[in-house]
Amino acid sequence: MSTNASIKAFQESQEFIPGGVNSPVRAFKSVGGTPLFISEGEGAYLKDIDGNKYVDFVQSWGPLIFGHRDESIEAAVIEAVQHGLSFGAPTVAETELAKLVVSFFDSIDKVRFVSSGTEAVMSAIRLARGFRGRDDIVKFIGCYHGHSDALLVEAGSGAATFGNPSSPGVPEDFTKHTLLAEYNNIESVKKCFADSKNIACVIIEPIAGNMGLIPADKEFLHELRKLCDANDTLLIFDEVMSGFRGSINGAESITGVTPDIVTLGKVIGGGMPVGAFGARAEIMAQLSPNGPVYQAGTLSGNPVAMAAGYAALTKLKQNARVMSVLEARAKRLLSGMQEAAEKEGIVMQIDVRGSMFGFFFNENPVKNFADATKSDAELFAKFHAGMLAEGFYFACSLYETGFISTATTDEMVEQTIDAASRVFKAIKNA
């Protein structure tokens, strides 16, 4: 398999773009080799500029639940474009998508759209601080909530990939109000509340996807809810990644824990850049122009993005049963890969939530970021390279999550398992 065109493109991109990429994890630094430059996607497949074709288990990091170039989403985008790209003024499309999003979540009465997950979380935290009149927040080590200054403290995903869990360029004054707790460890959260009586909110990925797939234990989330209630603190579920992926009705529907604020992204944009945050009416009433908490954005509610998101969520609502099909395929993929690994004496921890999946080359179950960092990064890099050579595109970091789309067939799943078996065998015999 030749990747000469990608190699050349990467060399050129590094002359004009820092690191040659516009998001760090894409640089392939943790897995080695040259990042593939993509020319097109179709259904479950990606094609690079060398003409190589891959079954795609990244799906643009989650939003493409119906695969690349879904006909209904593509048609909605084309129709919207024919009326204009951006107005900076209200459109009916915003209200229609807002109504649709609200219909999925018991915890959300109103929602505001923004342009990214980072912006959604940043705004949700500002809203929580304004609503409670407090400054401190609690986040969990390894959870990634975007790259706003106050949240780049022990971050997961791209920051963790490079072994640098906090970022230079972030003043200490911006993070002094951020308290850190350990994921799935309620005692660490209690310590945060003991250390501060000024906590406005606790933010958590209820299904963590940025330190690998690590779902929060239900018991832990229930205790977290009680702790927040006891301290009059808001609980934020960051579902930018897991929203409509882990469950069609959010993590609250599978954990029984109701958050105060939910942040969303990925699927609600159908492949276009969209984020959102929502809450009960009392909280959202504090948001400008009704209340004093300011948030704005020229491209918020962009009509093309709204059209894509509405088409994606409408299709998902009409085909809600597809979630169980996707989960079954993800479970088959992971169990098959695990069996193939075990035949070669390789220990593999696996997990699935809805159409999200994750795996670690780790001797022990993974419950938090410290556990995740004990995984075999070198083995993951070899596996990643081997699967690419076989024509299967997995996330280029062991701290990322994989995704199944409706375009991913049972046959593709079996082909992936067969390829994984060959790769594991080659790794052991090397």
Helices (H), 27-183: 71-81, 92-104, 117-132, 157-161, 172-175
Ramachandran angles phi, psi of 54, nearest 5°:
-135, 145
Cis peptide before 292 (omega within 30 of 0): no
Token look-up 């003991």 returns: 194
Q: CA 57 to CA 164: how far, in whole Å?
A: 26
Q: Which of 56, 110, 183, 266 is catalytic?
A: 266
Residue 294 annotated in active site: no
Which residues, other chains included, contact 343 with Cβ-Cβ below 8 Å and sequence gap of 6+? 421, 424
User: Alpha carbon of 400 to those of 57, 60, 209, 265, 339: distances in Å?
Assistant: 11, 12, 6, 16, 21
Q: CA 109 to CA 283: how far, in whole Å?
A: 10
Residue 29 annotated in active site: no
Residue 54 annotated in active site: no
Q: Which of 144, 183, 310, 399 is catalytic?
A: 144
| CB of 354 closer than 8 Å to CB of 247 | yes
Q: Which of 56, 70, 136, 238 is catalytic?
A: 238
From the list 358, 408, 80, 48, the residue with the least C-alpha distance to 205 is 358
Q: CA 312 to CA 64: how far, in whole Å?
A: 9
Query: Among all residues, which ones are annotated catalytic?
Result: 144, 238, 266
